[in-house]
Amino acid sequence: MTITDAAAARLAELAASRSSDGMLRIGLKKGGCAGMEYTMKWVETPDKFDDVVEDNGVKVLVEPTAVMYLLGTSMDFQKDKLSSGFVFHNPNQQSACGCGESVELMPVSQEKLSEIEG
C-alpha cells in the first residue's frame, strides 16, 4: 500500500490536531450495496498482527484481515469545491456502488502475490 503526498499531508495534519499519540488503522467491513466498506480509526497502540505501512513520512496500520484486499492500493486525499476525503485506488476492486461508499473487492490472486513478493 502506498500513501500519496496529499494523503500524507492530511494525515500529518490530523495527527497534529489530536491530543494524544496514535496511528490510523485501515480495514474493511462488510456493508453497503457493493459488499465492503473501508474503515479508518485512530488507535493508541497497534494490534499484534497489524501490518505497519510507512510511506511519505507517515505510518498507518492495516488490519490483518484487510491485507490481501489492500495489496497494491494507493491512499489519496482529494479536495474539491463540495467535498474532501480519503480515496482508495485499489487494483483489487471489482465494482463500486453509485454513491462510492462501498466496493466489491477480491483478494490478491496467488499469481499476483508471487509477482509482488518476487
Could you tell me the three cell numbers for 28? 474493511
16: domain range? Answer: 2-117
H helix and E strand count, the chain: 3, 9
Could you tell me the three cell numbers for 82? 463540495
Q: What is the pLDDT of residue 59?
A: 92
Domain count, the chain: 1
- Strands 74-79 and 23-31 turn out to be unpaired
pLDDT digits (tens, 9 = 90+) for 33-77: 767 888 999 999 999 999 999 999 999 999 999 999 899 999 999
Q: What is the pLDDT of residue 86?
A: 93
Domain containing 30 — which CATH number? 2.60.300.12
Could you tell me the three cell numbers for 73? 492500493
Task: Report the C-alpha gap between 95 and 34 in whole angstroms.
Answer: 7
Q: What is the mean pLDDT of the chain?
A: 87
Burial class (CB in 10 A: 0-12, 13-18, 19+), 51: middle
Task: Report the C-alpha gap between 6 and 71 in whole angstroms.
Answer: 20
Beta pairing partners, 41: 25
The pTM (predicted TM-score) of the whole model is 0.81
